[in-house]
Amino acid sequence: MTEWLPTLALLACPVGMGAMMFVMMRATKHKQHDPREHEVTALRAEIDQLRAELRDGRSAEEPKP
């Protein structure tokens, strides 16, 4: 039993550090909501709408039928 003690002591630090990194990465992963995400989504929808209007041959300034 005493021959395992030094090996356990050497492995305790790296294993503990890996576990802490794993827990911290999971915690920050849930908090990564960009506050500008709603604005970016709205702008992408507007770009898609303008591209569709250009593809259909309508001008962006013309009123929609």
Residue 51 has what pLDDT?
93
State how far the Cα of 16 lies from the Cα of 12, in Å rounded to an integer. Answer: 6
Is residue 32 pLDDT above 60, yes or no? Answer: yes
Q: Which long-range contacts does 7-13 make (Cβ < 8 Å, 24+ apart)?
A: none
Average pLDDT over residues 11-33: 83
Residue 3 has what pLDDT?
82
Q: What is the four-CA torsion angle of 33, 34, 35, 39, rounded to 10 degrees?
A: -120
User: At a CB cut-off of 8 Å and minimum separation 6, what does 32 contact?
Assistant: none
Where are the chain's structural domains? 1-32, 34-65
Chain center to CA of 21: 18
* pTM: predicted TM-score of the whole model, two decimal places: 0.39
